[in-house]
Amino acid sequence: MSLLHIAIFSPFLMAILVPFFYKGLRRIHTGWFVLILPILLFTYFLQFLPVTRDNQAIQESFAWIPSLGIDFTVYVDGLGLLFALLITGIGALVVLYSIFYLSKEKEKLHNFYVYLLMFMGAMLGVVLSDNLITLYMFWELTSISSFLLIAYWYDRERSRYGALKSMLITVFGGLAMLGGFLLLSIMGDTFSIRELIAQASELNDQPLFLLALVLVLIGAFTKSAQFPFYIWLPDAMEAPTPVSAYLHSATMVKAGIYLVARFSPIFAFSEYWFWLVGGVGIFTLFWGSFNAVKQTDLKGILAFSTVSQLGLIMSLLGVGAAALQFDGMDDNIYTVATIAAIFHLINHATFKGSLFMVVGIVDHETGTRDIRKLGGLLSLMPITFTVAVIGAFSMAGLPPFNGFLSKEMFFTGMIQLLELDIFNLQTWGLLFPILAWVGSVFTFIYSMMIVFKTFTGKYQPEKLEKTPHEAPIGMLIPPIILAVLVVVFGIFPNILSYNLIQPAVAAIIPSLIEPGEKIPVHISHWHGFSTELMMTIGVVTLGVIMYITMRKWNKIYNLFPNKVTLNALYDTGLYAAERGSYTLTKSVMSGYIRTYLVYIFIFFIGILGFTMWTEDAFKIDTSQLAPIGIYEVVLVLLIVLGTFTTLIAKSRLTSILALGTVGYTVSLFFVIFRAPDLALTQLVIETVSVALFLLCFYHLPKLSRHEERMSFKLGNLLISAGVGIMFTLIAISAHSNKLFDSISKYYVDNTYDKAGGENMVNVILVDFRGFDTLFEICVLAIAALGIYGLIKLRLGKKGGAIDENE
């Protein structure tokens, strides 16, 4: 196991230690110990920058399930490293922020940090795994850990609701994604993502390709809150603010973005990929920004803004997929979309992370996030206001912040899309720049709402639960660091160009890069009076007008009835599923074991019978069977007679004797078949069983009227006969359709040489299957102890245990 594997597993190891830190050192906040790990991991991953800067990668692997070709392969390229730095860097800031946000006296911090570390490790596993199965395993771990984090305040109904909602939607997407992964592995005969990328041109011709594409995108869309799956994200805001800042701005919701970026080299040759990724992304941008404006809760605004911004990045990846339709860099002007996607991915993590922390500070210091109750906080919280201005203005796409640069590149990508003569873009392609511009107008509006409705206007202390004041310095440091990065990346964007952006883009469009070649990435503030600049001026102008006149036009939201929404559809569907499952369960779960056995047996007969019939498995080969003698026929008839006597006898004594007859007759079969040890065992067991029955006979109650008058039931006969016939046919068919040599020859050849024994049965039980025999002995010992306990237990008249000393 390499250091890279240890880096991925280290958060899980730290999670195991957290409860001990929490119990042993109660005077110190647990977060101080947890903080060490993300800082070390961030520092560790920084050392790979020189490698990825040259478009190189590092790969480490160890066998996990070699028989299935499943290895835990860690692959660090430009894309994986970018996400690893975001996960650990933002993670360190979030942990520092949580130390001052969560009280060690009031909160169960060990739970919080265990869940947070689980999520950090799972995200690292997702972005650094080269194997489809290991990626899926970590993918579902992110869903589980995020469920626990969202439900951290589990005593709140809305927290439980939001956690369940996120779990159901993201796990559904994960299962769909697993189906896509399996189809890819079938088509490419490998679980390695690298090897699948190398086969991309061949995979596109496979009949299962389109289905795999759709299934993988369902997983990506559900995780990254794309339309129509976005509905879980606003409800997930019931989580503590550090969770929202970490999961819903920088990491978890970016997992879907990562998935699309990672699999673009495989799927992007298909026009379906372009239309689905680009189309869903651009509509999600518009829909998320449009709905953000009507929110009154600050975290609600940020939730829908996150949906919108994720749609922006997703649309850029979809549009950037068009780059793969060209053969060379000189002919391809369209890498700008992919560059913009990666640049905005970084920018979004900085400005949205800072804004979430600002909202957490406002909530922590005022007791509310409702913008109708807030206002006039500028003079009371000047540092928080400054950070909010930087983050919100960057999100709005205003200079000189980093969001302005990536928003300009976003407009460039949408405009240049119309120049491409592919995918019928001459018709529907016009919707991309239109929706991009309209969505940007609403983005500007909700960005201004966050700043001005919170920090300016009338101060309303009577509506606040607390007397507001500036947050402690420890809570301010993380958002300040992120705000500084917003400014630095805005003024000096080319710090990122060849260190992070170019290597990540090279990993997304590897087919366009010759060995030793680098994609030119140069980001600047001024490109002249371009169409993009005019679009930005239009966004600001119309945005200001609409913000000022919001009261006059925001009534349009009343045109959308609450009963006709995706949330209402989810709630109705969930309620219907619960009621339906309850009704179905109540109708079939009668409480009688006999009823359940009927279900099992009917299902057994139907499924196995249908399978054997469709697979033509009803074959009987008698060539290797010994002839049936008169003795076997007589003994079979005797067993059948004893069995029927046991069933129809009117006396328990007669039933016991008939049952014993069946057992003794079976032992005679063992004698005929020359198995004296089995015959002796059967005789002993049968003798003991009959003796015990007879000893208990005195205590058995008399047959009830129901038992004496047991009537014939045709259904029972058919089910019993069906099960018996099916087992018989399966046994005969298994004997007649041997696909490989019997293992008995191995025992014959090795019993004496390897085990040193002459009795094959004894050697098998003691040596070859020694553990099996040991476990059987343990089971018998447990049963014996249980029987002994029941014998020693004496109940009184009222059912209570009686003390033996009484």
Looking at per-residue pLDDT, the higher value among 513 and 531 belongs to: 531
Residue with tokens 């956690």: 163
The arithmetic mean of pLDDT across residues 538-543, rounded, is 96
Identify the weakest region by mean pLDDT among 16-20, 77-81, 290-294, 706-710: 706-710
pLDDT tens digits, 456-475: 999 999 999 888 999 999 99
Q: In one letter, which amino acid is 426?
A: Q
With a cut of 50, say whether residue 509 has pLDDT above it: yes
Please give the Cα distance from 513 to 190 (Å, whole number): 24
Do 247 and 142 contact (CB within 8 A), yes or no?
no
Residue 424 backbone class (left: φ over 0; alpha: ψ -120 to 50; beta: rest): left
**What dihedral angle (degrees, nearest 10) is formed by the CA atoms of 83, 87, 89, 92?**
180
* pLDDT at residue 702, as a whole number: 67
Provide Rg for the chain, Cα atoms.
35
CA 327 to chain centre: 36
Please give the Cα distance from 151 to 21 (Å, whole number): 23
* pLDDT at residue 345, as a whole number: 96
**Phi, psi (degrees; rounded to nearest 5) at 106:** -105, -20
With a cut of 70, say whether residue 806 has pLDDT above it: no
Q: 3-class DSSP state for residue 518?
A: coil
Q: Which of 227, 196, 228 is CA-nearest to residue 213?
A: 196
Please give the Cα distance from 84 to 679 (Å, whole number): 66
362 — pLDDT class (breaks 50, 70, 90) = very high
703 — pLDDT class (breaks 50, 70, 90) = low
The token pair that represents 790 in the structure block: 């029941």
DSSP tally for the chain: helices H, then strands E: 34, 2
The token pair that represents 692 in the structure block: 């015990």
pLDDT tens digits, 473-483: 999 999 999 99
**Phi, psi (degrees; rounded to nearest 5) at 226:** -85, 155
| DSSP 8-state class, residue 58 | E
The arithmetic mean of pLDDT across residues 426-455, rounded, is 93
Q: What is the DSSP string of 342-386?
A: HHHHHHHHHHHHHHHHHHHHHHHHHS--BTTT----TTT-HHHHH
Identify the weakest region by mean pLDDT among 53-67, 114-128, 345-359: 53-67
The token pair that represents 250 in the structure block: 């920088």
Greatest mean pLDDT among 413-427, 555-569, 729-743, 776-790? 776-790
Distances (CA, A) of 65 to 60, 68, 192, 325, 567: 16, 6, 13, 37, 41
**Phi, psi (degrees; rounded to nearest 5) at 447:** -65, -40
Burial of 600 (0-12, 13-18, 19+ CB in 10 A): exposed
Let me know the angle formed at the C-alpha of 98 by 97 and 102, rounded to the nearest 5 degrees.
135
pLDDT tens digits, 235-276: 999 999 999 999 877 788 899 999 999 999 999 888 899 999
